[in-house]
Amino acid sequence: MPSSSLPASAGLIISEFKARATVMTDTPVIQPAAPFLDMTGEALRRRIFMTESETGESLCLRPEFTIPVCMGHIAENAGTPRRYAYCGMVFRQARDDGEAEFYQAGIEDLGEADVAAADARAIADATQVLQKMLPGRKLLTTLGDQAVFEAVVRALGLPGGWQKRLIGAFGNQAQLARLMETLASPQPVSGLDRRVAGFLADGNEAGLIAHINETMSATGYSTNASRSPEEIARRLKEKLALSVTSLDEEALAALKAFLALDVALDKATKVLDDFAAEYRLDIKAAVSGFSARIEALSSAGVDVATISYRAAFGRPLDYYTGLVFEISEEGPSGALLAGGGRYDRLLTLLGAEARIPAVGFSLWLDRIERATAQAEGRTSK
């Protein structure tokens, strides 16, 4: 994107990024669509501008930078650790009278083995850049941790299918509430073919697969164009298991109590320890990593007492694995100015040969411009 088309704030932001030992990078506006459709989450998938190549390949306008930056790193076979910075336009179908094209800038920190230090650096960098852009403005930072949530879900002893469902809903309070209602009062699966129900009741997997195969052959379904009989049987078994699983009253109370936690970050470790002790849950490893991040934040000069920890807080991107955070402006608008998190599995899913730990954040330049304009007492364009 030509530098002349960037917002006025971009120059200062890029200067701040360069001072933090980053490598400025750019990515094509047209991207292969599959990685975004597979890994970003439903909230973003619905807003992607789709197109296709002359050969029929599904393409899209760049809806965010994290995936393209990671794909570029893999393609270049670059070494780690490495910090990439970017500044450019992203494209998402507008909602709530918002804009479909806007500018983002950010840093992707790839390959840093000290997870706590890298997480702290991401939060500190985002905060410090915003403070430079908006001097004297009050900023509110909210932090969540998917790894802690996953540890709680595992400690409750739920079947793998339920764990996957709950973890997939992290950050979506309405969806989590619906899932917990189902766990409190499970509903039997209805509408199953009588023979299928019989095979499931008897635990006859071989018979079920044979029946599905016969049905697909008789109805003309091609296993090359749809799920295999084995996969369909596995999904039916999982659906049945989920339908009869319920949480006991104490376990459901524990999950609700965890999701209700909302405290200042300097008090969060003790609150989590007390929660684990009250409900007899072993989440020590996750809390240890959580506590190490708090110490790293303090060492980086961040006042952790000003950060809010909300146990139910997540961000609407499927690739996050640990830390998630957002920074907003205090005041009536409460404009969201920055967001980020940790995504340790993403590069492997994109084709990296070895696991590469990663964390990053993005700044919304258009919102920063509007906040600056409001601070100066003028109307933004």
**Has 104 been labeled as part of a binding site?**
yes
95 Cβ neighbours under 8 A, 6+ residues apart:
47
To the question of whether residue 64 is assigned a binding role by annotation, the answer is yes
Q: Is 146 annotated as a binding residue?
A: no
Instruction: Report the Cα–Cα distance between both ends of the chain, in Å, rounded.
Output: 20
Share the mean pLDDT of the chain: 87
Query: Would you state the pLDDT for residue 164?
Result: 84
Residue 330 above 70 pLDDT? yes
Q: Is 320 annotated as a binding residue?
A: yes
Would you tell me how many other CB atoms lie within 10 Å of the CB of residue 5? 10
Q: What is the pLDDT of residue 1?
A: 38
- Is residue 315 annotated as involved in ligand binding? yes
* 3 state DSSP class of 15: helix
Peptide bond into 81 cis (omega under 30): yes
Name the region of 77 (left: φ>0; alpha: ψ -120 to 50; beta: rest): left
Domains of the chain: 3-138+330-375 (3.30.930.10), 149-172+248-318 (no CATH), 194-243 (no CATH)
User: Position of tokens 């320890």?
Assistant: 273
Q: Do β-strands 358-364 and 336-342 pair in parallel, antiparallel, or remain unpaired? A: antiparallel
CB 113 within 8 A of CB 82: no
Instruction: Give the model's confidence band at 379: pLDDT under 50 very low, under 70 low, under 90 confident, else very high.
Output: very low
Residue 229 has pLDDT above 90, yes or no: no
Report pLDDT digits (tens) over 97-117: 567 899 999 999 999 999 999
Task: Indicate whether 199 pLDDT > 80.
Answer: no
Instruction: State pLDDT tens for residues 234-274.
Output: 766 666 565 555 677 888 899 999 999 999 999 999 999 99
Query: pLDDT tens across 38-51, in order?
Result: 888 888 888 999 99
Q: Are 165 and 175 in contact (CB under 8 A)?
A: no
- Does residue 311 carry a pLDDT above 70? yes
Quick one: which H or E segment has residue 133?
helix 115-133
Where are the alpha helices (H) located in 141-279, listed in sequence order? 146-155, 160-168, 173-184, 194-202, 205-219, 229-243, 249-259, 265-279
In this predicted structure, what is the pLDDT of residue 224? 45
Three-state SS for 172-201 is CHHHHHHHHHHHHCCCCCCCCCHHHHHHHH
Predicted confidence at residue 44, as pLDDT, reads 84
CA–CA gap between residue 105 and residue 231 (Å, rounded): 42
**Percentage of residues in the chain having pLDDT higher than 90:** 61
Q: Which two tokens stand for residue 253?
A: 């109370």
Tokens 């790193």 belong to residue: 73
Q: What is the pLDDT of residues 146-162, one digit of tens each?
A: 999 999 999 988 777 77
Residue whose C-alpha is closest to residue 211's, from 227, 230, 235, 239:
230
Encoded amino acid at 374, one letter: Q
Q: How far apart are CA 203 and CA 208, in angstroms?
A: 9
Q: Is 250 annotated to bind ligand?
A: no
**Residue 376 is labelled as binding a ligand:** no
Q: How many CB atoms neighbour CB 189 within 10 A?
A: 16
Tell whether the model's pLDDT for residue 349 goes beyond 90.
yes
